[in-house]
Amino acid sequence: MALLGLVIAFVASFVLTPFVKKFAIAIGATDKPDHRKVHTRIMPRLGGLAIYLGFVISVLIIRPEGVYDWAIFLGGTIIIITGMVDDLFQISPKLKLLGQFGAALAVIIAGDIQVNYINLPFGGTIEFGIFAIPLTVLWIIGITNAVNLIDGLDGLAAGVSTIALLTIAGMAAIMGDLYVTLMASILAASAIGFLYYNFHPAKIFMGDTGSLFLGFMISVFALLGFKNVTVISLVIPILILGVPISDTFFAIVRRVLNKQPISAPDKSHLHHCLLNSGFSHKETVLIIYGIAIMFSLSAFVFSQSTLWGAIIVIMLTLLFIEFVVESIGLLGKDYKPILRFVRSISK
Annotated binding site for Mg(2+): 148, 208
**How many angstroms separate the CA atoms of 204 and 301, rounded?**
36
Q: Could you give the C-alpha distances from 327 to 243, 283, 339, in angstroms and in order? A: 16, 16, 8
Q: Which residues contribute to the annotated binding site? A: 148, 208
Q: What is the dihedral of CA 322, 323, 327, 328, to 10 degrees?
A: -50
* Phi, psi (degrees; rounded to nearest 5) at 229: -120, -170
Q: Considering only CA atoms, which of 232, 4, 268 is closest in space to residue 119?
A: 232
Q: Considering only CA atoms, which of 147, 324, 113 is closest in space to residue 245?
A: 147
Distance of CA 313 to the CA centre of its chain: 22
* Phi, psi (degrees; rounded to nearest 5) at 118: -135, 145
Q: What is the dihedral of CA 163, 203, 330, 313, to 10 degrees?
A: 10
Q: Parallel, antiparallel, or unpaired for β 125-127 and 117-119? A: antiparallel
